[in-house]
Amino acid sequence: MSFLSLAFIERLAEERIKQAQEEGAFDALPGRGRPLDLEDDAHVPEDLRLAWRVLKNAGCLPPELEARREIHTARELLASLTDEAERYAQMQRLNLLITRLNLSRRRPVQLEARQEYYEKVVARVPVKGKRPE
């Protein structure tokens, strides 16, 4: 199917929806005027859904997501600090949080060329007995 035919189908569908709205075809639908339930708990087994909702509403997150949230908060705080001693303490805390997250993962940490940590490691690790400049 070409792009033009997809665009035509999309435009036709939008026109038909608009026409149906103007004719009042959607006025008697159940749930009209109420917010949609957009929670997707289809991946949660049915017997665990109630407990999952209670924990979610209480602000509990899975451990990895909680750790990522803490890392994000620590990075934001680090960016706003101006005192060198406070920045150093925050960097140590951030390094600890990242280390804990990496240790909790089931797969090994992948160092990518774009990561700051990768660049720092490359700058400090000697290659064949030579110290980097």
Provide the pLDDT for residue 131: 54
Q: Does pLDDT of 113 surpass 60? A: no
- Residue with the larger pLDDT of the pair 113 and 29: 29
The pTM of the full predicted model, rounded to 2 decimals, is 0.42
Over residues 25-52, the pLDDT tens digits come to 988 888 888 887 666 666 777 888 888 7
The predicted model gives 55-76 an average pLDDT of 83
Q: Is residue 81 part of a domain?
A: yes
Provide the pLDDT for residue 102: 82
Full residue range of the structural domain in which residue 90 is found: 63-107
CA angle in degrees (0–180, nearest 5) for 43-34-31: 80
Number of domain units in the chain: 1
> What residue spans of the chain are helical by DSSP H?
3-23, 49-57, 63-80, 84-104, 116-124
Q: Is residue 22 part of a domain?
A: no
Both tokens of 49, joined, read 């859904």
The overall average pLDDT reported for the chain is 79
Q: Is residue 71 part of a domain?
A: yes
Q: Is residue 131 part of a domain?
A: no
Q: Is residue 44 part of a domain?
A: no
